[in-house]
Amino acid sequence: MKRLLVAFVGIVCLLAGALESVRSETLPAKGDQPFFKDPSQVPDFQRHVIPLLGRLGCNGRSCHGSFQGQGGFRLSLFGFDFRMDLAGLTADDRIDRAHAADSLVLQKGTLQIDHEGGRRFEVGSWEHGLLQRWIESGAKGIAVPSKLSRLEVTPDEVVFHSNGASAALQVIAVWENGDRENVTELCRFRTNDDSVVSVDGSGVMTSQGVGDTHVVVFYDNGIAAVPVMRPRDASLKLSSHQTLAPGIDYFVNEKLDKLGIIPSDICTDAEFLRRVSIDLTGTLPTPDEVTRFLADASPEKRQRKIDELLNRPAYAAWWANKLCDFSGCNPQQQAELGQETSVQWYMWTYKRLLENAPYDELVRRIVLAEGRQQGQSYEEYAREMSSYYREQDPQDFADREFMPHYWTRRSMQKPEDAAQAFAHNFLGVRLQCAQCHKHPFAPWTQDDFKQFARFFEPIKFGVQSPDENRYREIAKTVGLNVSDKNGAPIRDDVLRHARKGRVIPWRELYVADRNSEVNLDLLRSRKISLAPELDPRTPIMEWMLEPENSYFAKAFVNRVWAGYFHVGIVDPPDDLNPANPPSHPKLLDWLTQGFVESGYDMKWLHRTIASSDAYQRSWKPNETNEEDRRNFSRAIPRRLPAEIVYDSVKQSLAASDQQQEVRTDLSRRAIGHLSMRLAGTYAMQVFGKPDRAVNCDCERSNQSTLLQSIFLQNDPLIDQRLEGSGWLEELSRQEESLTKADHPALVREAWLRTVCRLPSPDEETRALQHLSSAESTVDGMRDLLWALLNTKEYILNK
């Protein structure tokens, strides 16, 4: 009986192994012979010839796809200008329709004639046959391009279990007219991490090491990504995700199971409090707050703390700063009063977050903004704008319904620049490449970019023709010389008149009428008919809010996630494209759907992320997750952002009665008004604060550098902060009454002020020894504070 049982188990294991290998490590041939290999069929220029040239590298940037071409022969980069490519192939006798085999494109590709690009295929190969049959059939192009519906790639996920194991991909192209074809050998393949998996030109993948990545498939305008994993130890299973409802921890743990990764334990209360205070509010917790939290034995205390932090003005202050990062609030780019305008922009955003305005509503009020409020005359508009600057009883710009400053930047004056910025800011999409050629890793073509840019042509900043005379009259009364019909920027001497309560002339953001109706494609989503008087931003905003839109809500969710984990589910966070797939697609979809269903409630998103085990895990690794940087099995220590370094030093050294004021006074915080003024300063540059001058989230750097260590150790700013420390001044006034008995409490408070925890017994002993040997208690505490400010623990969020 025992032998029968053993035999049965063995058979089951063999069958399971066989099934597993079929699923993940081999792929038998499927389907009929591809159409393009059939000698009796005529190849299609778009579906077969151009993809083959792409697979052979002929239309790459280092070959005939370069802007200069090669040897007088130029193809469109990545092959999406079919007319240009046909003209190039058939020019200068490169094609011999009467004697196809003698065609120059065949003889050079097979090295029968010298070819700087080397041999691209063999005589008699299927590639040679495909091109020869196309030439024999007349070397015809296409009248109307076909539209690719999708690529079906099998297998749709691969899990390897050993180095050198291989699996073959099969790619089926599905066209909008219903045609289906095996195009595997016409595709280009790319691995996103060759230390995990390599892939050859035929789509055969080979396992190289432990980890996870994607193999990306390119064909025509289609892009598909296949997840590839190699677990460290396939026998390690959490299995805990199976008991969870769908959510962050379910989807994170599900993938950790596949990778054989055991997550780190939940972090300590002290670690959690410091981490969540920094991430939610850009602020360190006070010593009293830390003490109370550590003493609280309630199991709900973390959730209560998250809710409490979300209701603090500091939450609105920090995330207003982050939103200004994403949207490009830069004083240097403003066409009018850069510093003042940027502060207005920040405070307008801050107030929307204080009100917990839905994200879609906040963006709508930016996207659809105009200078004048509805029904205003130019006179009323000029009076309103002037009122924001008067010294007595100024109006509050933050009370305006719409915020026009996004559009009035000098960097938005050209439609092409506006298209790039808009796509980056609100869609998390990089369109720069498509301005010149077909995007190599996304579906956008140069024509897609040009049509999208045309949406922004009517957005103007200046003086409308009917108001030009009144504008000049007001300008004359305050000494503003105007030589251009679009007006002139406000100077400081002119602004002084507004401060005294006078009306000064203001240029305005407006939407000019087009001469006629135009029909434009909106980023491959649909055709939009724009009547002359229609604000072209309206259909864009409507499209962004449609449930099937795959960019707007997802881009924001992904950026917020990256703010908590230092890496996006899609990373880089501002590069949503099919060749840069999410590490956890089901997680991103679940969070995005929940965010939309919550009514775009930003607090819901923050609360959901901060409440998860994934966010609350310790930074301390175990054997299985030491190398993990993208699967959220542990916290990755991150350097504090520049603004928080600036503010936290002030907070750590503030007098006891000033702790709350330092946290809440936005006029003196780097994440508040000072954010604009500090941009470009040495301290902010050292710690990676972005100038917001380019369309890239990468402009902010959170990397640690040697220069940062030198700054904290030796920069005069740190010396000034220590010398002017309110807390040390407070201790100085008490110096005569302080005794050794007071030292332990002072040491503990120093730790609570800086690293937000109590010192260990060893740390406390060494600190007390130093205090005892110092010339005075204040001198000893100054040394101790300097040392704590220079620890890794202080400068890192972990």
For the record, the structure tokens of 23 come out as 């699923």
Determine the Cα angle at 743 with ends 739 and 748, to 5°.
155
CA pair distance 402, 343, nearest whole angstrom: 15
Residue 239 confidence class, pLDDT cut points 50, 70, 90: low
Beta-carbon count within 10 A of 668 CB: 13
Nearest of 539, 521, 558 to residue 443 by alpha carbon: 521
Q: Which residue's structure tokens are 């130093």?
A: 770
Rounded average pLDDT over 259-286: 96
CA pair distance 785, 426, nearest whole angstrom: 42
Residue 27 pLDDT > 90: no
For the record, the structure tokens of 34 come out as 């591809």
SS3 per-residue string spanning 366-416: HHCCCCCCCCCCHHHHHHHHHHCCCCCCCCCHHHCCCCHHHCCEHHHCCHH
Rounded average pLDDT over 243-263: 91
Residue 791 confidence class, pLDDT cut points 50, 70, 90: very high
Residue 281 pLDDT > 60: yes
Structural domains of the chain in order of their starting residue, each with its CATH number: 1-26+146-230 (2.60.40.1080), 35-136 (no CATH), 642-797 (1.10.3130)
* DSSP reduced 3-state for 464: coil
CA pair distance 364, 399, nearest whole angstrom: 16
Using CA atoms, how far residue 564 sits from 245, 282, 611, 681, in Å, is 22, 12, 12, 26
Tens of pLDDT, residue by residue over 732-743, are 999 888 889 999
Residue 793 confidence class, pLDDT cut points 50, 70, 90: very high
State which of 40-44, 70-74, 669-673, 788-792 shows the largest mean pLDDT: 788-792
Lowest mean pLDDT of 464-478, 526-540, 652-666, 746-760, name the range. Answer: 652-666
pLDDT at 115: 84
**Beta strands per DSSP E along 209-298:** 211-219, 222-230
Q: In this prediction, what percent of the chain has a pLDDT beyond 70?
A: 95
Q: Are 697 and 686 contacting, i.e. CB atoms less than 8 angstroms apart?
A: no
Rounded average pLDDT over 88-111: 89
CA pair distance 52, 34, nearest whole angstrom: 13
Mean pLDDT of the chain: 90
For the record, the structure tokens of 615 come out as 């966010």
Residue 670 confidence class, pLDDT cut points 50, 70, 90: confident
Q: Are 76 and 59 contacting, i.e. CB atoms less than 8 angstroms apart?
A: yes
Residue 366 confidence class, pLDDT cut points 50, 70, 90: very high
Could you tell me whether strands 158-159 and 796-797 are parallel, antiparallel, or unpaired per DSSP bridges? unpaired
CA pair distance 190, 192, nearest whole angstrom: 6
pLDDT at 45: 94
Beta-carbon count within 10 A of 29 CB: 9
Positive or negative, the CA dihedral 680, 682, 684, 689 is positive
For the record, the structure tokens of 283 come out as 């602020």
CA dihedral 466, 470, 472, 475 (to 10 degrees): -140
Rounded average pLDDT over 774-798: 95
Q: Are 274 and 285 contacting, i.e. CB atoms less than 8 angstroms apart?
A: yes
For the record, the structure tokens of 563 come out as 């703010």
Residue 659 confidence class, pLDDT cut points 50, 70, 90: confident
Residue 365 pLDDT > 90: yes
Segments in 428-514 forming alpha helices (H)? 446-454, 468-477, 492-499
pLDDT at 237: 67
Nearest of 456, 459, 457, 438 to residue 447 by alpha carbon: 438
Residue 585 confidence class, pLDDT cut points 50, 70, 90: very high
For the record, the structure tokens of 788 come out as 């704590």
For the record, the structure tokens of 438 come out as 């077909």
Residue 31 pLDDT > 70: no
CA pair distance 556, 227, nearest whole angstrom: 24
pLDDT at 238: 65
pLDDT at 320: 95
DSSP state of 530: E
Tens of pLDDT, residue by residue over 398-453, are 999 999 999 999 999 999 999 999 999 999 999 988 888 777 778 888 899 999 99
Report the amino acid identity of residue 221.
N
pLDDT at 386: 97
Q: Which residue's structure tokens are 């074809």?
A: 181
Q: Are 526 and 388 contacting, i.e. CB atoms less than 8 angstroms apart?
A: no
Q: Which residue's structure tokens are 């008490």?
A: 734
pTM summary value: 0.91
Residue 696 pLDDT > 90: no
Using CA atoms, how far residue 554 sits from 429, 560, 574, 699, in Å, is 11, 10, 11, 21
Residue 302 confidence class, pLDDT cut points 50, 70, 90: very high
